[in-house]
């Protein structure tokens, strides 16, 4: 099982140490660091709820500096999540059922249980993408402006993510997804590629999406995420998520669960 580790057992970059300290100061709760070699990503953080004594930061370990970038990214996302009422994005059971049924029809060659599991996975993946990608643009912009020690790791992480996402543009992938989910997900990927390419000074990273006609929707999503107010903060997460959902035609796919519910 993963074992807790003291912060001193791994040497973080200054920006990572500062991000951890800021999260602890803002919330009044420590960050518990856990070595987790089984992770599929380099680092992930679970923000403490009202009944939790600490945040839990899980890292693969080693000296890969991409982990420092992800630590800062996750801490900044957690800080954004803590601003204002702690509303939670939750799925719409009716829409989830519709997506599952569409996947059963699309994948009739699969056993029913596998097709239903795939449908649930696809739906949950889209909701997670909607929850994180728009606010994440603001976090990445902040990191680029505020954390010069993370520039190289950030560039590697963003470029790798953009490259990995390109597989979804293949016609064979399109055929395996319900149309609404596919178009919404690709539009968000396009926004990430367009924004990330410009952020890194590599606009060519967005060319595969531009060549398939996703440039306009990508630019609209980016504008909704960045807003026109305080450039250091941007719109609140809920505002970004709701505006992206409206742009993508999936506003009815989720609800907001207020803290009192």
pLDDT per residue of the chain (261 residues) written in tens, 0 to 9? 344 444 545 688 999 999 999 999 998 999 998 888 888 777 888 888 788 899 998 887 656 778 899 899 989 998 887 665 455 778 889 999 999 999 999 999 999 999 999 999 999 999 999 999 999 999 999 999 999 999 999 999 999 999 999 999 999 899 899 999 999 999 999 999 999 999 999 999 999 999 999 999 999 999 999 987 565 667 889 999 999 999 999 999 999 886 544
251 and 213 belong to one structural domain: yes
39 and 153 belong to one structural domain: no
150 and 225 belong to one structural domain: yes
Task: Name 179's Cβ contacts closer than 8 Å, sequence gap at least 6.
Answer: none
Q: What is the pLDDT of residue 5?
A: 42
Q: What is the pLDDT of residue 258?
A: 67
7 and 58 belong to one structural domain: yes
Q: What is the pLDDT of residue 84?
A: 52
CB 217 within 8 A of CB 187: yes
Give the separation between CA 228 and CA 219, rounded to whole angstroms.
14
The torsion angles phi and psi of 206, rounded to 5 degrees, stand at -90, -5
69 and 142 belong to one structural domain: no
Nearest alpha-carbon partner for 103 in 180, 176, 170, 173? 176
68 and 151 belong to one structural domain: no
96 and 210 belong to one structural domain: yes
Q: What is the pLDDT of residue 37?
A: 85
Q: Distance between alpha carbon 114 and the CA centroid of its chain, in Å?
A: 26
The torsion angles phi and psi of 3, rounded to 5 degrees, stand at -110, 140
30 and 144 belong to one structural domain: no
- The residue out of 35, 54, 81 marking a domain boundary is 81
Establish how many alpha carbons lie within 13 A of residue 94's alpha carbon, considering only the half-sphere containing its beta carbon. Answer: 5
230 and 151 belong to one structural domain: yes
Per the structure, how many domains does the chain have? 2
Radius of gyration of the chain (CA): 19
109 and 228 belong to one structural domain: yes
User: What is the domain-level CATH number for residue 59?
Assistant: 3.30.2010
Burial 187-208 (b: 16+ CB within 10 A, else e): bbbbbbbbbbbebbeeeebbeb
139 and 252 belong to one structural domain: yes
- The residue out of 12, 47, 81 marking a domain boundary is 81
Domain of residue 59 covers 3-81
pTM of the model: 0.89
151 and 233 belong to one structural domain: yes
- The residue out of 81, 109, 130 marking a domain boundary is 81
């Amino acid at each position: 099982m993963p074992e807790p580790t003291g912060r001193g057992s791994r040497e973080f970059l200054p920006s990572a140490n500062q991000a951890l300290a800021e999260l602890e100061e803002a919330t009044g709760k420590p960050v518990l660091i856990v070595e987790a070699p089984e992770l599929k990503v380099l680092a992930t953080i679970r923000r403490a709820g009202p009944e939790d004594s600490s945040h839990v930061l899980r890292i693969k370990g080693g000296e890969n500096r991409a982990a420092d970038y992800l630590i800062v990214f996750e801490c900044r996302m957690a800080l954004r999540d803590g601003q204002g009422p702690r509303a939670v994005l939750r799925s719409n059971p009716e829409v989830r059922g519709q997506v599952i049924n569409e996947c059963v029809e699309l994948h009739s060659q699969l056993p029913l249980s596998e097709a239903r599991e795939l449908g649930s996975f696809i739906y949950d993946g889209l909701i997670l993408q909607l929850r994180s990608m728009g606010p994440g643009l603001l976090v990445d912009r902040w990191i680029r402006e505020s954390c010069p020690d993370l520039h190289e790791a950030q560039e590697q992480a963003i470029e790798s993510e953009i490259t990995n996402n390109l597989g979804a543009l293949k016609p064979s992938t399109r055929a395996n997804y319900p149309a609404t989910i596919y178009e919404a997900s690709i539009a968000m990927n396009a926004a990430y590629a367009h924004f990330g390419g410009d952020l890194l000074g590599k606009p060519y990273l967005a060319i595969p999406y531009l060549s398939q006609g996703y440039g306009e929707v990508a630019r609209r999503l980016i504008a909704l995420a960045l807003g026109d107010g305080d450039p250091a903060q941007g719109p609140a997460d809920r505002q970004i998520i709701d505006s992206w959902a409206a742009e993508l035609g999936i506003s009815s796919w989720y609800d907001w669960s207020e803290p009192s519910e």
